[in-house]
Chain A
Amino acid sequence: GQQLNQSPQSMFIQEGEDVSMNCTSSSIFNTWLWYKQDPGEGPVLLIALYKAGELTSNGRLTAQFGITRKDSFLNISASIPSDVGIYFCAQGGGADGLTFGKGTHLIIQP
């Protein structure tokens, strides 16, 4: 089945630093989704990408859909304490539900 490889698994950064994480897929899909999950809550959609090469921003977040359609990255600029959480890439949709990456745990050091 489809596999999503997400890296890094965790990041320890200082407040104010920029963050970058990425996902690669073994298959080609038409959508890349990025979610954030806070402890004890459901994932919240951050950015949805629908076209190869697409670059989309949402505030301090920027994500791109790779031109090969097998990869995507998410950048967070000037991190703040509330950015702490788990970030997931996901693919799929339609009638098949979503496949999630293993997540990137973002930890901001004081």
Chain B
Amino acid sequence: GAVVSQHPSRVICKSGTSVKIECRSLDFQATTMFWYRQFPKQSLMLMATSNEGSKATYEQGVEKDKFLINHASLTLSTLTVTSAHPEDSSFYICSAPDFLGQETQYFGPGTRLLVL
């Protein structure tokens, strides 16, 4: 199946700093990628849709100025958590749709963010 990678796998930062998370499709091109957030013992919640060559679209309640998304190329999307606070600590996971269609999604391994 398609392979999606994320970097870093885990990051610890101080409150007020910004953190960038990368999501790459390794063997296919993805004009669309998705970012999810997962709190402990909870399900994945869609945060935003990253669109190559255009602005990201955000789900209701997700602050676009806090979670900056840049889809720089057909294989790379980045999520920057700006001015991070402890409540931003979570597991962030990206996905890219099946290159045969968009019904199935392949997920990255996730990035664990801990804000102190």
| B: contact size bracket | 20 to 34
Main secondary structure on B side of the interface with A: strand
List B4-46 residues whose CB lies under 8 Å from chain A.
Answer: 4, 6, 32, 34, 36, 42-46
Q: How many residues of A contact B (CB 8 A)?
A: 25
CA distance A96 to B110 in the complex (A): 20
Main secondary structure on A side of the interface with B: loop
- Tell whether A30 is near chain B: CB-to-CB under 8 Å: yes
Contact of B34 among A33, A41, A98, A101 (CB under 8 A): A98
Q: In the assembled complex, which residues on chain B have CB atoms less than 8 Å from the CB atom of A41?
A: 109-110
Q: Which residues of A contact B (CB under 8 A)?
A: 30-31, 33, 35, 40-45, 48, 50, 88, 90, 93-103
22 contacts between A and B (CB under 8 A): A33-B104, A41-B110, A42-B93, A42-B95, A42-B108, A42-B109, A42-B110, A43-B44, A43-B93, A43-B107, A44-B107, A45-B105, A93-B103, A94-B102, A94-B103, A95-B49, A97-B95, A98-B95, A98-B105, A102-B42, A102-B43, A103-B43
